[in-house]
């Protein structure tokens, strides 16, 4: 029995690591228990035959400079960690209208609209930009680093009341679905499809389900002068390593291969964890779960929380899962103008959330050659949260039927990649296909899901607190929701809810104020 911890954390995803590293910085004794042998959760990286693959996020922004409104950058600043970044601004699009490159920033997309849709579409986009300008300012008026879910919020968030007051008329507009804003100014079908696509990539839902605040944050980040996108040198694994360094440098611990079997409850309070094999870790202050809504419930003993709470959480709708194609390829003779990222949409008519309709392609070794052997590239192709789990749920991963279906369902990714590299199938040194069962197995994700599909205006993401004293949650199942900045914010919020207000204020003065 380990009784040395103030806080124990379930899962080393970005939310869990952000929470843990910040708590360690605050001086708490923290241990993170990770079931996998690699940290990072959905953002972990792995290596095969000299190729370094990202398993999750491929698009990063707001991370290569400070101060930044990106909560993950704020976490790195708070714990005193950084890493090297490569900047770029362009990605490729393969859409039903045609293939083109587009860039972040305020103007280049208007050139695309003028070419494909004409002056009216440009005018509508400019009108949307003007409409979003005050909403952008409102969305970043209260930094995530100031938020906590206790009475101390009056002090830490109170410092930003003057800023919020200046934007009061717009703050309420941020809480509804983005379509309330979009419908006022956008009629062009391509622009509407484009905004649906951006919403889906950000939050796993189309524009009528995504909260306006999320799109306002995106407009603030992507559509501003001289903006660049970021990629971490060393891949997504280098970003995870930076959080782990911050955790361990301040005395925290990461236990890999430590599968949590149960949250320990005594006298109606979460007091620790029991691991597979019988080891227990006690927590003097709190247990924090970075697991999903559904996976966290599975760890609670009977009667630990009210039945209605369980029923409400179990009824939360979920996003679909993923298909992944990881390739290590021969780069000889490839087109020199390849972009690092591509978005492929097969058919607007069936909607961006339709299974296998949207495919993302990432070739990060174009930005960071160290990810592949000389003369090679790493490629990650995936269907982002649109692969139905029910197609896979009863299959045996060792069966011929599973392998056949895996090959068949990967075909849409091969075809998308052939629009960019026509001879791709002859170039492969390493070929790995991941399915929803892969997600479920390695990430310990309920049904391999991307996360909760909580629609704006119908429900809100819960905060970090639960009905069980001593148990808090972070990650994509809690406020503010899905996506890398959001889960980092959730980790900060959980950590700040635990710590004394004065320590929280000291961090804010150093990082934000």
The rounded mean pLDDT for the chain is 94
- pLDDT tens digits along 226-243: 889 999 999 999 999 999
Q: What is the pLDDT of residue 401?
A: 97
Residue 285, domain member (yes or no): yes
Distance CA 215, CA 201 (A): 11
Q: What is the model's pLDDT at position 165?
A: 87
Q: How confident is the model at residue 140 (pLDDT cuts 50, 70, 90)?
A: confident
Q: Residue 255 corresponds to which tokens in the numbers above? A: 């236990």
CB 323 within 8 A of CB 355: no
Domain membership of residue 299 as a residue range = 2-43+67-82+235-316+455-511
Domain count for the chain, please give it. Answer: 1
Q: How many CB atoms lie within 10 A of CB 314?
A: 11
User: Residue by residue, what is the 3-state secondary structure of 98-115?
Assistant: EEEEEECCCCHHHHHHHH
CATH classification at residue 7: 3.50.50.60
Average pLDDT over residues 301-309: 96
Long-range contact list for 422-428, CB < 8 A, 24+ apart?
Answer: 424/327, 424/329, 424/379, 427/329, 427/330, 427/331, 428/327, 428/328, 428/329
Please state, in angstroms and as integers, the Cα–Cα distance from residue 469 to each residue in 34, 267, 287, 305, 472, following that order: 23, 10, 9, 10, 8
295 falls within a domain: yes
Is residue 274 included in any domain, yes or no? yes
CA distance 224 to 104: 8
Mean of pLDDT values over 39-67: 93
Query: Model confidence at 513, in pLDDT bands (50, 70, 90)?
Result: low
Per-residue pLDDT tens over the stretch 320-363:
999 999 999 999 999 989 999 999 999 999 999 999 999 999 99
pLDDT in tens, 162-174: 888 888 888 888 8
Banded pLDDT at 59 (limits 50, 70, 90): confident
Tell me what percent of the residues of the chain surpass a pLDDT of 70.
100
The reported pLDDT for the residue numbered 225 is 74
pLDDT of residue 504: 97
Residue 170 lies in a domain: no
Provide the CB-side half-sphere exposure for 17 (13 A, CA). Answer: 29
- Residue 459: inside a domain: yes
Q: What are phi and psi of 56, to 5 degrees?
A: -135, -120
347 token code pair: 């058919």
Q: Does any domain span residue 209?
A: no
Does 395 map to a domain?
A: no
Across the range 263-279, mean pLDDT stands at: 97
DSSP strand E in 369-458: where?
376-387, 428-434
Beta strand segments in 192-259, E: 229-232, 253-256
DSSP designation for 337: T
Nearest alpha carbon to residue 122 among 32, 180, 194: 194
Q: Is the pLDDT of residue 387 over 70?
A: yes
Contacts (Cβ under 8 Å, ≥6 apart) of 16: 9, 10, 32, 41, 288, 290, 474, 475, 491
Residue 350 maps to a domain:
no
Please compute the mean of the pLDDT values over residues 492-504 and round it to a whole number: 97
């Amino acid at each position: 029995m380990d009784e040395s911890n103030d806080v124990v954390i379930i899962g080393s995803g970005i939310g869990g690591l952000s929470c843990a590293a910040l708590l360690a910085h605050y001086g708490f004794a923290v241990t993170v228990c990770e079931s996998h042998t690699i940290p990072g959760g959905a953002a972990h990286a792995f290596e095969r035959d000299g190729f370094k693959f990202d398993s999750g996020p491929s698009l990063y922004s707001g991370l290569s400079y400070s101060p930044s409104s990106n909560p993950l950058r704020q976490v790195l600043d708070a714990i005193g960690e950084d890493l090297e970044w490569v900047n770029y601004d362009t990605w490729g699009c393969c859409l039903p209208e045609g293939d083109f490159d587009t860039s972040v920033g305020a103007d280049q997309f208007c050139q695309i609209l003028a070419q494909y849709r004409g002056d009216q579409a440009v005018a509508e986009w400019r009108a949307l930009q003007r409409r979003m300008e005050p909403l952008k300012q409102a969305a970043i008026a209260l930094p995530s680093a100031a938020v906590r879910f206790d009475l101390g919020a009056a002090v830490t968030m109170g410092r930003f009341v003057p800023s919020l007051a200046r934007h009061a008329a717009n703050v309420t507009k941020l809480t509804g679905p983005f379509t309330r804003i979009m419908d006022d100014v956008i009629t062009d079908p391509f622009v509407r499809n484009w905004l649906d696509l951006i919403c889906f990539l950000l939050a796993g839902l189309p524009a009528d389900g995504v909260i306006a605040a999320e799109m306002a944050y995106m407009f603030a980040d992507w559509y501003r002068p001289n903006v660049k996108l970021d990629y971490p040198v060393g891949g997504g694994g280098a970003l995870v390593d930076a959080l782990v360094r911050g955790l361990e440098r301040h005395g925290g611990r990461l236990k890999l291969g430590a599968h949590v079997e149960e949250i320990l409850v005594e006298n109606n309070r979460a007091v620790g964890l029991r691991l597979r094999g019988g080891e227990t870790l006690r927590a003097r202050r709190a247990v924090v779960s970075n697991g999903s809504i559904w996976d966290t419930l599975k760890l609670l003993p009977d009667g630990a929380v009210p039945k209605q709470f369980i029923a409400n959480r179990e009824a939360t709708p979920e996003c679909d899962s993923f298909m992944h194609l990881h390739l290590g390829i021969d780069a000889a003779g490839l087109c020199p103008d390849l972009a690092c990222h591509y978005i492929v949409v097969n058919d607007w008519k069936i909607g961006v959330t339709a299974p296998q309709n949207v495919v993302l392609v990432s070739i990060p070794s174009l930005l960071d050659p160290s990810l592949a052997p000389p003369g090679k590239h790493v490629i990650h192709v995936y269907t982002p949260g649109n692969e139905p789990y029910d197609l896979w749920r009863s299959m045996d991963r060792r069966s011929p039927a599973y392998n056949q279906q895996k090959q068949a369902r990967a075909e849409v990714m091969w075809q998308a990649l052939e629009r960019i590299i026509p001879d791709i199938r002859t170039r492969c040194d390493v070929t790995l296909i991941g399915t929803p069962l892969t997600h479920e197995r390695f990430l310990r994700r309920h049904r391999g899901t991307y996360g909760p599909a909580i629609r704006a205006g119908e429900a809100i993401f819960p905060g970090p607190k639960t009905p069980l004293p001593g148990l808090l949650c972070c990650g994509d199942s809690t406020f503010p929701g899905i996506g890398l900045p959001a889960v980092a914010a959730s980790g900060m919020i959980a950590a700040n809810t635990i710590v004394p207000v004065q320590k929280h204020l000291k961090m804010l003065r150093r990082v934000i104020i």
